[in-house]
A and B are shown apart, each in its own frame.
Chain A
Amino acid sequence: MAEKQKMIKVYLTGELFEVPEGSTIMMALEYAGFQLKQGVGCREGYCGACATVYREKGDYKLKGGLACQTVVSEGMAITQIPSVPAEKPIYDLNDLTPDVGTFTKLFPSVFRCVSCNSCTKACPQDIEVMDYIQAIIRGDLAKAADISFDCIRCGLCAMRCPAEIVQYNNATLARRLYGKYLAKKSPELEKRLEEIKSGKYDKEIKELKEMPHDELSKIYYKREIKIS
């Protein structure tokens, strides 16, 4: 951030600080002097550690976002939510079936959904959260897995849900069931596994391992590049 920054006032967990305009919430917290330990992770929008709620000046709405991705504004009031209390049932994927019955047993609360869409509005990834919850209720796990794919498990959906559903844990299970049981198997993968097991490549790998540098380099630069 350049030296002669315009400063703005923000409330960090209720306390007033001046921070440079254009900062993300995370930059603002650090500028104020906080060494972050919770509520910080990848800092690039992939890990969901930095869920944050905030109100902008003059707006009654309580909004949610990722601290590393949300830019502060004058008068913004900010509170981080480093952890969301959530039910996480223990299961062995091998014992489960990819259907709605599994959710009846493990996540009965999912059926309490009142279709209010609060979860969707809370999602910083703009995922149609309510739609995937409804897909789970219908037993359409393929759809639930697809819609929820970009979930980073920040937990903001679960914090806003009046039916107290933990959406992201449902989504994790839906995707795992899809990946394991419903996705079509790759024929070429099975074939290659057989070939490796039978020792088909052992000899040529051994040759490469023992090859002098010059020869190996020659083969490398001459190898045919077939990409598309």
Chain B
Amino acid sequence: MYPEYMQESIKKVEKTRPKRLEIARKYGKKVFDAMGEKEREDVLNTYHPDYKADALKELRIGPNKGEKLINEVVNILEAYPRNLSATFDLSKVDYETDVLVIGAGSAGLSAALEAARLDVKTMLVTKLRLGDSNSMMAQGGIQAADQEDDNPRLHYLDVIGGGHFDNKPELVEALVMDGPKSIKWLEELGVMFDKKEDGSMMVKPGGGTCRNRMHSTRDYTGAGICRVLRDEVQNKPDKIDILEYTAATELIMDDKGQVAGAILYHIELKEYFIVKAKSVIMATGGFGRLHIRNFETTNHYGATADGLVMGYRAGANLLFMDSVQYHPTGAVFPEQIVGFLCTEKIRGLGAQPVNYDGELFVFPLEPRDVEASAFICECENGRGVTTPSGLKGIWLDSPLIEELSGEGTIEKNLPAMLRQFQRFDIDIRKYPMLVYPTLHYQNGGLEINEKTETSIPGLYVAGESSGGVHGRNRLMGNSQLDIIVFGRRSGIFAAKRVKKGVQLGKLTLEHVDNYAKEVEKLGIDKSQVSPMILPDYIPDHVKAKQLTTNYYGTLF
């Protein structure tokens, strides 16, 4: 429950609620004027963390050399690899496959299913369990322009406007045109979308959408999809080989400049394996666990951007790694759930963000970067609420939802949220939620085209580890669509390449050796090693005494 001293602010929220309710009843979701181009620019420039002078630094190595990227991303790219030619005999191959999929979130699972459908030998590797991913944690929804008053053109506009017009047009086209088809594919696999009595989809708006376009499976949308894909992959043991607790630590090339497999590391056995593959799909997800600018994150334990590092060392280009998505509504109270996601669907259902005095200060459904910046503005100007541990937040007035749509709406539509807060004695039907932006999504990544190809023959990328689809800011519900659309495309195009005939040459790690030499030339400290594989939350006083702390690059 909220501490006594917060009650003063909660009372103010309750006092302004009837008035705000009246506005919502009269104007629907348009309870506050949406910002124009100039206002968006202003609030982003002043308050968004990416726009701070010290957010970026110059990268001194690889294809994007000379560009300014997020500090923490530069740090993992300007780091030493673990696997050099000298320590591996690449003539002794442990596994051979046609298509290797790295990562088993919804993008990787979709890729594996499509590759297997095209009858090529498929291997799916994941450093944790099958399905362990940010995909599984998505709550709010998946966009697709299938409604009468909507169309792919409007979806296109929303995506590219939300992304500051930086998105690659051919990727936006693929995303929106494949939208309805993706929903159909998922439904045929048995995903249970929220529907009305007549079978039509229950759709809600999201930040930056001009129509109700958000399909959902309650507030377990990611799980609703990912657990079905996982079950389907498990039903194909004759077609898809699965390796769990097995991280990829480096890509293997051949002497013709093609990607030819990967070095795998079993995190329990502490054993390396070599897999030879004719095509490789990188579906490793994003970078939330890098805790950029010390932000808390909504991300899965495994979200350490390993794919970026591996792909970059192999020579693939990065796009938009100067931008980070902070989700406007991360929990800041209670302490145990700081940084956890409070889905955008809460606002989609009518909850309003209000400040210490209970005042509504922004259109609740701006694109995420704009909305998050508006929240930070309130907090930095003394209009936020301070928690016992010193964090600041603004209120998300969830009780409005049931005032607007009747008792039971929250239990029916937001069961995960209700449960999450109830575990800590807060009933979000009666009390607002205290929120602040939290590190949520990697907008950019390894550059792909509409076939998910990179500049490296044989290397495909799908999902959060790819760059270009969302420009510099993704809208709610478009990542769930992205991982299905481009996950499937990657499986299809990687399999087709194999079927056309791929002749692999001699396997090599020369690209890694060369990269290591470049890192050394920069004078980087030997303790800087990547990919990270898993984050480390062991406290410093214990860490200092652990054996693994005293050897560079050891994995656990």
Whether A189 lies near B146 (C-beta < 8 A) is: yes
Whether A205 lies near B153 (C-beta < 8 A) is: yes
What 1/0 flags go to A204-216 for Cβ under 8 Å of B?
1100111001001
Whether B147 sits at the interface, judged by CB under 8 Å, is yes
Residue of B187, B199, B235, B341 near A187 (CB, 8 A) is B199
* Min C-beta distance of B402 to chain A, whole Å: 17
Whether B228 lies near A176 (C-beta < 8 A) is: yes
Whether A201 lies near B151 (C-beta < 8 A) is: yes
What 1/0 flags go to A46-63 for Cβ under 8 Å of B?
110100000000000000
Q: A196-B180, A205-B156 are in contact. Are A227 and B212 (CB under 8 A)?
A: yes
A137-154 with Cβ < 8 A to chain B: 145, 149-150, 152-153
The stretch that binds A, out of B107-115, B125-133, B317-325, B519-527, is B125-133
What 1/0 flags go to A77-93 for Cβ under 8 Å of B?
00000000000101111
Whether A224 lies near B28 (C-beta < 8 A) is: no
Whether A204 lies near B180 (C-beta < 8 A) is: no
The stretch that binds A, out of B253-261, B273-281, B496-504, B534-542, is B534-542
Residue of B157, B201, B416, B537 near A208 (CB, 8 A) is B157
Residues on B with C-beta less than 8 A from A186 are: 146, 193, 195, 199-201
Docked Cα-Cα span, A2 to B389, in Å, equals 7
Residues on A with C-beta less than 8 A from B271 are: none
Whether B416 lies near A46 (C-beta < 8 A) is: yes
Residues on A with C-beta less than 8 A from B268 are: 37-38
Whether A8 sits at the interface, judged by CB under 8 Å, is no
Q: Chain B interface mostly helix, strand, loop or mixed?
A: loop
Whether B136 sits at the interface, judged by CB under 8 Å, is yes
A8-44 with Cβ < 8 A to chain B: 22-24, 27, 30-38, 40-44
Question: How many residues does chain A have at the interface if contact means C-beta atoms less than 8 Å apart?
Answer: 74
Residue of B177, B183, B190, B389 near A175 (CB, 8 A) is B190
Whether B190 lies near A178 (C-beta < 8 A) is: yes
Whether B205 lies near A228 (C-beta < 8 A) is: yes
What 1/0 flags go to A184-210 for Cβ under 8 Å of B?
111111001100100001001100111
Whether A180 sits at the interface, judged by CB under 8 Å, is yes
B296-317 with Cβ < 8 A to chain A: 298, 300-301
B30-62 with Cβ < 8 A to chain A: 30, 34, 36-37
Whether A71 sits at the interface, judged by CB under 8 Å, is yes
Q: A44-B341, A188-B148 are in contact. Are A175 and B209 (CB under 8 A)?
A: no
Whether A216 lies near B160 (C-beta < 8 A) is: yes
Contact size range, B: 35 or more
Q: A47-B137, A149-B192 are in contact. Are A228 and B28 (CB under 8 A)?
A: yes
Whether B542 lies near A46 (C-beta < 8 A) is: no
Q: A33-B538, A186-B199, A205-B176 are in contact. Are A41 and B301 (CB under 8 A)?
A: yes
* Min C-beta distance of B157 to chain A, whole Å: 5
Whether B160 lies near A35 (C-beta < 8 A) is: no
* Min C-beta distance of B470 to chain A, whole Å: 15
Residue of A1, A31, A42, A125 near B137 (CB, 8 A) is A42
Whether B298 lies near A44 (C-beta < 8 A) is: yes
What 1/0 flags go to B182-202 for Cβ under 8 Å of A?
011001111111010111110
Residues on A with C-beta less than 8 A from B160 are: 208, 216, 220
Residues on B with C-beta less than 8 A from A185 are: 199
Q: A46-B136, A205-B152, A227-B210 are in contact. Are A30 and B537 (CB under 8 A)?
A: yes
Residues on A with C-beta less than 8 A from B189 are: 93, 176, 179-180
Residue of A nearest to B222 (CB): A46
Whether B241 sits at the interface, judged by CB under 8 Å, is no
Residues on A with C-beta less than 8 A from B539 are: 30-31, 33
Whether A109 sits at the interface, judged by CB under 8 Å, is no
The stretch that binds A, out of B81-89, B165-173, B505-513, is B165-173
Q: A216-B165, A226-B149 are in contact. Are A45 and B227 (CB under 8 A)?
A: no
Residue of A46, A180, A193 near B220 (CB, 8 A) is A46
Whether A176 lies near B340 (C-beta < 8 A) is: no
Whether A189 lies near B180 (C-beta < 8 A) is: yes
Residue of A37, A92, A216 near B534 (CB, 8 A) is A37
Which of B161, B172, B180, B211 is the most central at the interface, judged by chain A CB atoms within 10 Å of its CB? B180
Whether B91 sits at the interface, judged by CB under 8 Å, is no
Whether A177 sits at the interface, judged by CB under 8 Å, is yes
Whether B9 sits at the interface, judged by CB under 8 Å, is no
Q: A35-B534, A43-B300 are in contact. Are A150 and B267 (CB under 8 A)?
A: no
Residues on B with C-beta less than 8 A from A175 are: 190, 192, 228
Whether B195 lies near A184 (C-beta < 8 A) is: yes
Whether B361 sits at the interface, judged by CB under 8 Å, is no
In the A-B complex, the 5 residue pairs with the smallest Cβ-Cβ separation, listed nearest first, are: A184-B199, A176-B190, A227-B205, A220-B161, A179-B190
Could you give 24 example pairs across A and B, Cβ below 8 Å? A23-B336, A24-B336, A33-B539, A33-B546, A35-B548, A37-B534, A41-B129, A43-B301, A44-B341, A46-B222, A88-B234, A93-B190, A172-B228, A175-B228, A177-B190, A180-B190, A196-B177, A208-B156, A208-B169, A216-B160, A217-B161, A221-B161, A227-B29, A227-B30
Q: Which residues of A contact B (CB under 8 A)?
A: 1-2, 22-24, 27, 30-38, 40-47, 49, 69, 71, 88, 90-93, 125-126, 145, 149-150, 152-153, 172-173, 175-180, 183-189, 192-193, 196, 201, 204-205, 208-210, 213, 216-217, 219-221, 223-228
Given A125-B419, A208-B156, 8 more A-B residue pairs with CB atoms under 8 Å apart are A45-B423, A186-B146, A186-B193, A196-B181, A205-B153, A217-B161, A225-B34, A227-B210
